[in-house]
A and B are shown apart, each in its own frame.
Chain A
C-alpha cells in the first residue's frame, strides 16, 4: 500500500492505495467521487475524464500513486455550490444529455477546451471531444451547447 497526498477540487485529500489501483478507482471507491464514471477502463471513452494540474486526462490511465502532490479536478468541482457553470446550465437547456453517463467527462473536457480556446469552431469542438463517447445524442446538441456557451462566456467576459 502506498500513502498518497493530493488535492481534489481544491480540498486536500489523502488515501492509501494498492500500486495497481488507478486514480479512477480511488476517486470512486475511496473518495466517493462517483461523478467520475468508468465506461471502458482503457482510455477509449473519456467518461472518467479529470484534470490533473490543469491538464485533461483519463483517470483510468493514471495510477493513483501518480496523484501525489497533484491537483485533481472532477465534475464535482465544476459548479460553485448551487451556482452551475454556464456549460452545465447550457447542457440542460439544450437537451445535450440523455442518459447522462458521459456527461461528467464531457463537461470536464469542454471546460478544459474553453479555458484553452474560448472561441472554438464546430470542427475544433468535435475533434477535442473525439475521445468522449456519447451513444445517446449523436453529439448534435452537445456541440451546439458548447459553441453557444463559448459565445455567452465571451460576451460576459
Chain B
C-alpha cells in the first residue's frame, strides 16, 4: 500500500486518477483502518487528504450557508457554537457516530463516502438539504447528498473524483432539525433505524419539511410522502400518525443481526414521531 499526503486538491485528484490498482481517500480513518485491519479492503494507494489547505475549516458564507471542510471532525463540529445552534440535528447525528475517540477523527465526508446505509449523519444531511462539491479530473459538480450513495458500500463517485467540500444551506427563520436513531445500547452501536426531520414553520404551521430514513433500505432515503404528511399541519396527532405510517411504508429493510424487517419498519414510525416533535419544538424556539 502506498501512502500519500497531497497538499492540494489537484494533487490528490491526479494521484487518484493515475494510481494503478485500487485507491482510497483517508480522512478520519475510522472506517478505512477498520477495513484494513480486518482484511476487508486494503487499497493499493491511500491518499491522506488532511494536509490539503482549508479541509479543517467550518466557514459561514455571506448568504448564511455553511461550508464544512472534508477533514472536519465530529468533535470540531460539536464544539462549533453557531453551527450547533443553527443545525443541531446535523451536529448531533454526526456526534452519535462512535465513541468520544471516534469523534476525534471521524468526518461527515467519510461517513458519507463509506456508503453504509446505517450511517448516522447521512439522513440528517439529506433532511437538511445539504450538498457536496465533487471534483475530478474533468472539473467540479454539485450533488444533493441523497444522490451520492448508490448501495451498501457504494457511491456515485468515479475514479479520480473526490468530495472537496460539503454545504449546509442557511438555516432561515423558524426552522429546526433533529435526528434520532434506535440502538440496543445507549452508545457504540450501529443504527438499527435512523430518522431525521428538518422543517420550517409559518406561525404554528409547518410550511416546509424534509424527512429522511437510515438503515431501512440499501441507501438512506429521502421520503417526500412523510414530509407531505406534516406539511401544512401543526403536527397534531393525526399528522404524526400519518407521518409514522408514511415512514414505515417507505422502509425496505432486511432481517439481519441488528434487527428484523418487522422491528425496523415499526420503529421507523415510532422514531419519526419523536424526531418530528423535537424538530418542531426547536423550530418554535
Contacts and interface: CB of A to CB of B under 8 A. Distances in A.
29 contacts: A19-B1, A19-B3, A19-B46, A41-B38, A43-B30, A43-B34, A43-B98, A49-B101, A56-B100, A57-B104, A58-B99, A58-B101, A58-B102, A58-B105, A60-B33, A61-B29, A62-B105, A63-B33, A65-B48, A109-B100, A113-B100, A127-B186, A128-B100, A130-B99, A131-B99, A131-B101, A131-B102, A131-B187, A132-B99
Nearest to A51: B104
Contacts, number: 86
Contacts of A46: 99, 101
- Select the residue from B29, B38, B42, B99 with max chain A CB neighbours within 10 A: B99
Interface in A73-115: 109, 112-113
A97 B184 CA distance: 27
Interface string B6-50: 000000000000000000001001100110111000100010101
B115 to A, nearest CB: 18
Interface in B143-201: 186-188
Given A2-B3, A61-B33, A43 B102 contact: yes
A68 B5 CA distance: 11
Contacts of B30: 43, 61
B55 interface: no
A44 interface: yes
A43 B1 contact: no
Interface residues on B, range: 20 to 34
B256 interface: no
The interface residues of chain A, by DSSP majority, are classed as mixed
A142 to B, nearest CB: 15
Nearest to B75: A55
Interface of A: 2, 19-20, 22, 41-44, 46, 49, 52, 55-58, 60-63, 65-66, 68, 109, 112-113, 127-132
A63 B3 CA distance: 10
Given A63-B26, A128-B100, 17 more contacts: A19-B1, A20-B1, A20-B36, A42-B37, A43-B33, A56-B100, A60-B33, A60-B37, A61-B29, A61-B101, A62-B29, A63-B48, A127-B186, A129-B100, A130-B188, A131-B101, A131-B188
B2 interface: yes
Nearest to A129: B100
Contact of B29 (A41, A66, A112): A66
Nearest to A109: B100
- Select the residue from B2, B26, B102, B104 with max chain A CB neighbours within 10 A: B104
- Select the residue from B2, B37, B73, B101 with max chain A CB neighbours within 10 A: B101
B278 to A, nearest CB: 18
